[in-house]
Amino acid sequence: MPETPKIQNGWSEYAHTILSKIEELHKDNKQTQKDIAEIKLAIVKLEINKEEVNSLRDWKREVSDIWSPKNMDSAHREIYIQKGKWSTVWGVIIALQVIWGVIIAYLKLK
């Protein structure tokens, strides 16, 4: 009969060892699940950033197409052409006023 308690003690120790290993695995599993959740969150953030980068890239491409150096140079020249036309118009108006003033002064002197 003395052998029966040894066998029971052996099974009891084995059961405790197995239980402690299962508890360790359970803790590791919970930590792994937390890590996976953090990785999923990081992936979602990266996808959001990717969409923002793609949106900004498309916007930059559109702006670059509209305001390319060639287009900017063309717009610059057009602005100065318009500015020159207005300067000419004002010059003609002032010249006509001076001529008209000279004519009126000449007619008053006669």
The tens digit of pLDDT for each residue in 17-44 reads: 999 999 999 999 999 999 999 999 999 9
Whether the pLDDT of residue 56 is over 70: the answer is: yes
SS (H, E, C) the chain: CCHHHHHHHHHHHHHHHHHHHHHHHHHHHHHHHHHHHHHHHHHHHHHHHHHHHHHHHHHHHHHHHHCCHHHHHHHHHHHHHHHHHHHHHHHHHHHHHHHHHHHHHHHHHC
- Say how many domains are in the chain: 2
Whether the pLDDT of residue 2 is over 50: the answer is: no
**Residues 62, 74 within the same domain:** no
Please report the pLDDT score of residue 20 as a whole number: 92
Whether the pLDDT of residue 84 is over 90: the answer is: no
**Residues 57, 89 within the same domain:** no
Token couple for 5 = 């308690």
**Residues 30, 84 within the same domain:** no
Question: What is the band of 53 on the pLDDT scale with cuts at 50, 70, 90?
Answer: very high
**Residues 29, 73 within the same domain:** no
